[in-house]
């Protein structure tokens, strides 16, 4: 028996709808597009790498057992309302006897069978449901929930929408391991990332930085050094005092006393990102009392002047 699931919910047991014909789901995916026209009509790019497959549309035929037509419509409405609320969902096919386990990233079709027309047949009610596979070459993970947790290893290194297979949505922004630990039930789950499965693999980014000084009297000149791992294309610094920088390893002057949180974000060529934030990393005071080799006390005042006070 083939089970049809939407966001890990069995269409038959949860929504009360039996799928009569699901062969349309298994139809051949559309061809990969080999050109892209810019929306501003400025030109056409041909033979671009990693252009996703064109969406494909298909129909599944369903049947509802209900006492009357109104009841049948209400049952169908529960399913279609869920689809509209989610917008995009994971559609899964599972049949252990036939060895089928497939999943697709879908939405309701607006061009084929856009409306649900329920028809009585032998005291049962049938209707056709039009769906669109929005990314036939999406990156798919056939996973299992254990201890209400499932994890994936993502290697494409660029930002994309992540669908956890239970209706929850997330985001991947860097190569690495991603985990979800609040599933309700254990068992199979199909996780999909809305990215071309043939996209190039990008080395993971690991953001990190250091500073030659973390405290002192104003005006405090701090040399920051980027120590990130990976191929970084863009650096975005936030020094915590209202100033920013796009340099790899900037020199920054703190002119007011206070404690400052410093954040660095790094980006690769594919839009992958990683962030490091050091809370209360820099401390700047109004003045400092120092003692030189001769034992003299030196006071650095608000203007930065050094005064001998012994």
Does residue 205 surpass a pLDDT of 80? yes
Does residue 296 surpass a pLDDT of 80? no
- For residue 309, the model assigns a pLDDT of 44
Task: Round to whole Å and give the CA distance between 272 and 119.
Answer: 49
Mean pLDDT to the nearest integer, 217-241: 94
Our measurement of the distance from residue 33's CA atom to the centroid of its chain's CA atoms, rounded to an integer in Å, reads 24
- For residue 215, the model assigns a pLDDT of 93
What would the pLDDT profile of 116-173 be if each residue is shown by its tens digit? 788 777 778 999 999 999 998 899 999 999 999 999 999 888 889 999 999 999 999 8
Mean pLDDT to the nearest integer, 212-236: 94
- For residue 291, the model assigns a pLDDT of 55
Mean pLDDT to the nearest integer, 65-81: 91
**Domains defined along the chain, listed by start:** 3-196 (2.40.30.200), 209-308 (2.60.40.10)
- For residue 298, the model assigns a pLDDT of 52
Mean pLDDT to the nearest integer, 271-290: 85
Strands 273-285 and 215-217: parallel
What would the pLDDT profile of 143-153 be if each residue is shown by its tens digit? 999 999 999 99
- Cβ contacts of residue 37 below 8 Å, gap of 6+? 43, 44
Q: Which of 45-59, 154-168, 171-185, 228-242 is predicted least confidently?
A: 45-59
Using omega within 30 degrees of 0 as the cis cutoff, is the peptide bond preceding 158 cis? no
């Amino acid at each position: 028996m083939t089970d049809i699931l939407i966001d890990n919910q069995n269409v038959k047991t949860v929504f009360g709808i039996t799928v009569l014909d699901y062969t349309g789901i298994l139809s051949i995916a559309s061809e990969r597009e080999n050109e892209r026209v810019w929306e501003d009509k400025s030109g056409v790019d041909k033979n671009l790498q990693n252009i996703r497959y064109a969406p494909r549309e298909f129909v599944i035929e369903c049947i509802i057992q209900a006492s009357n037509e109104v009841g049948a419509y209400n049952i169908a409405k529960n399913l279609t309302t869920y689809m509209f609320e989610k917008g995009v969902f994971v559609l899964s096919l599972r049949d252990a006897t036939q060895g089928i386990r497939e999943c697709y990233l879908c939405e309701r079709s607006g061009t084929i069978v856009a409306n649900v027309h329920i028809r009585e047949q032998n005291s049962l009610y049938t209707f056709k449901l039009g769906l669109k596979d929005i990314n036939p070459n999406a990156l798919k993970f056939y996973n299992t929930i254990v201890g209400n947790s499932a994890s994936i290893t993502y290697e494409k290194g660029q930002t994309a929408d992540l669908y956890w297979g239970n209706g929850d949505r997330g985001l991947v922004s860097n190569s690495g391991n991603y985990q979800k630990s609040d599933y309700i039930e254990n068992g199979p789950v199909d996780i999909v990332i809305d990215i071309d499965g043939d996209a190039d693999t990008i080395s993971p980014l690991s953001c990190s930085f250091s500073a030659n000084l973390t405290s002192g009297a104003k005006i405090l000149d701090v040399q920051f050094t980027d120590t990130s791992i990976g191929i970084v294309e863009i650096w975005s610094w936030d020094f915590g005092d209202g100033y920013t920088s796009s340099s790899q390893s900037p020199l920054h002057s703190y002119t007011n006393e206070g404690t400052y949180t410093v954040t660095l974000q790094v980006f690769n060529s594919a839009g992958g990102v990683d962030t490091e934030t050091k809370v209360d990393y820099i401390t700047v005071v109004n003045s400092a009392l120092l003692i030189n080799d001769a034992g003299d006390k030196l006071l650095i005042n608000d203007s930065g002047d050094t005064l001998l006070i012994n």
